Amino acid sequence: MNDEKMQYKYCTNCGKKVPVDAVFCCYCGTKGQFSDEPPHRKRDHGSGTVIYDSRYRKGFVARGPAPKRQYLGAYPTAEAAEEAIENFIKLGCPELYNATVEIVYSLWSDTHFKRINKKTVDCYKSSWKHFKPIAGMKMKDVKTVHFQQLVDAHVGAGVSSNIKTLAKALCRFAMENDLINKNYAEFVKLPKIEKTEKMIFSAEQISKLWRNSHDKSVQAILVMIYMGFRIGEITSLTTESVNLSEGYIIGGIKTEAGKDRIVPFPTNIPEIKGFVASWLRNAFPGSRLFPMTVHTFRSKVFYATLIKLGMVDAHIDEKCAVVFHTDKHLTPHSTRHTFASLSVAAGMRPERLQHIIGHASFKTTADYYVHVDPNSLISEMGKLVRDCS
C-alpha cells in the first residue's frame, strides 16, 4: 500500500479523501462506508453514472444516461458497470438491453413467423411453452446451463430437439442486437437418440399395390413411393404443379431444401406419369389434385386403402381415427423411406437423391431414410473369395 493510501481513504458516497482513522466523512457525513481504492473516474454529465452501493452484493451500480437514468444492474467491478453503460448507449434501443427472454421471443417471433409456414409456427409456439422457467430472466443473463435444464426436463427426443432449435434462434436474434456475444444454446447436449428402424414397403406389398393400381387411392400411394413426396406435399399438389411435357412435378413444403423442388417422373415406370395425367384430366385448372386435409388423406385414402388390401392390421372408428392392432406398421412416411431405399439400390447418385428427396444434407437421407435389404447384404458377402491372388 502506497503512502497516500496509508494517510487517506475514500468516502464511497461522495468519493472525497478523508483521514484514514475517520469514522464519518467530513464532507457528506456518511458513516462507515470507506474504501482504500480511489473512486472511479466520473463520467461526462448526463452520460450515465457508476456508483458504489454496499447494499448490493455486486457493489457497483450502473445507471443509464439522463433524463431517465434507468437502472442497468449491479456489477462486481466499476469497469464492468462502465461496459454495461457503453453497451446500453451503443444499442440504440435501451429498452432491449434488459429485455427478458419473453420479450426477445416476442420481438423475434413478430418478424420470423411471417416468413415460415403455419406448421412450423405451431411447432415454435409449442416449444415456447417449455421456456416458462426462464421466460422472466434477462436474456443477457441466460447461459448454456439454463437451456440445458429445459432440455433435460423432457424425455422425448423430438421435444428436446425443438427446445434447442428455438433457443438457438433466440440467441441468434440476441446476438444480432448485441445483447449477447455468444450463442449459448449451441452447446446444449441433446439426449442420445436410438435409431429406430422404420418399416418400408416390401416387394410383395408393392406388387399388390400394382395389381390394384386402377384405384386412384392406390395410385397416390404408388406416386409417393416412386417420387418421394411427403403426405403434406401430395395433398398440396395442384394442376399447376405438374409439367407433363417436360416430365416433372414441382412440389415440396417443409424446408428450404425441400420447397419448390423439381421431382422428375421415373422414366422407366411410365405408369406413374400416366396416373398423374389421369388426375389432371379430372381436375379443374388451378385446383388441388387431392382436395382434402392431410388428416382426411391419411385416414380415408392411405390407411383405408392399406386396410382394404390387408397390409395394415387396423380399423377406422366412427370419428375417422385409425385404431392400430399392432405397434409397428406402415405409415405415410414409409413411402419416403421406401423411395430412398429403392433409389440407392438402383444406383442413384447421392447428391441427386438428396435434391429430389429435399434434404439439406445427404447424411440425413443416408442415416434415416435408406434401408438395406438383407438379401442384398448376403449377395455382397458372396463376392468375397478365400484366394485373393
Find all residues with CB under 8 Å of 307, minimum gap 6, and list them. 314, 315, 316
Query: 352 and 323 in contact (C-beta within 8 Å)?
Result: no
Comparison of pLDDT for 251 and 199, the residue scoring more: 199
Q: Which three cell numbers stand for residue 311?
A: 397390409
pLDDT tens digit sequence for 53-69: 777 677 787 787 877 77
Query: 325 and 190 in contact (C-beta within 8 Å)?
Result: no
Q: For residues 94 and 249, what is the distance between their CA atoms, to the nearest angstrom?
A: 50
- Determine what percent of the chain is predicted with pLDDT higher than 70: 80
In the 3-class helix/strand/coil scheme, how is 133-180 assigned residue by residue?
Answer: HHCCCEHHHCCHHHHHHHHHCCCCHHHHHHHHHHHHHHHHHHHHCCCC
State CA 244 to chain mean position distance: 36
For 46-61, the DSSP string reads: TS-EEEE-TTSSS-EE
pLDDT tens digit sequence for 139-170: 989 999 999 999 998 767 788 999 999 999 99
Whether pLDDT at 359 is above 50: no
pLDDT tens digit sequence for 172-194: 998 887 788 899 999 999 987 66
Q: For residues 25 and 15, what is the distance between their CA atoms, to the nearest angstrom?
A: 10
Q: What angle do CA 363, 364, 365 make, to 5 degrees?
A: 90
pLDDT tens digit sequence for 221-260: 999 999 889 898 899 999 999 999 988 888 765 444 345 6
Query: 100 and 110 in contact (C-beta within 8 Å)?
Result: no
Query: 222 and 213 in contact (C-beta within 8 Å)?
Result: yes
**Residue whose grid cell is 439400390:** 345
Confidence band (pLDDT; 50, 70, 90) for 318?
confident
Q: Coil, strand or helix: which one is 11?
A: strand
- CB-hemisphere CA count at 13 Å for 373? 15
Q: For residues 209 and 305, what is the distance between their CA atoms, to the nearest angstrom?
A: 9
State CA 160 to chain mean position distance: 10
For 274-298, the DSSP string reads: HHHHHHHHTS-TT-BSS-S-HHHII
**Residue whose grid cell is 396416373:** 275
Confidence band (pLDDT; 50, 70, 90) for 373?
low
Q: What are the chain's domains? A: 3-92 (no CATH), 101-187 (1.10.150.130), 203-377 (1.10.443.10)
Whether pLDDT at 334 is above 80: yes
Bridge partner residues of 138 (DSSP): 100
**Residue whose grid cell is 491372388:** 389
Residue 122: enclosing H or E segment and its boundaries?
A: helix 118-128
Bridge partner residues of 18 (DSSP): 9
The beta strand positions in the chain, using DSSP E, are: 8-11, 17-19, 34-35, 49-52, 60-63, 71-75, 242-243, 248-251, 261-264, 314-316, 322-324
Cis peptide preceding 67, ω within 30 of 0:
yes
Query: 101 and 136 in contact (C-beta within 8 Å)?
Result: yes
Comparison of pLDDT for 253 and 81, the residue scoring more: 81
Confidence band (pLDDT; 50, 70, 90) for 95?
low
- pTM, whole model, 2 decimals? 0.51
Whether pLDDT at 369 is above 70: no
In eight-state DSSP terms, residue 42 is P
The lowest-confidence range among 115-119, 166-170, 207-211 is 115-119
Query: 150 and 139 in contact (C-beta within 8 Å)?
Result: no
Q: Coil, strand or helix: which one is 22?
A: coil
Q: For residues 389 and 385, what is the distance between their CA atoms, to the nearest angstrom?
A: 10
CA separation, residue 38 to residues 8, 56, 371 (Å):
10, 19, 72
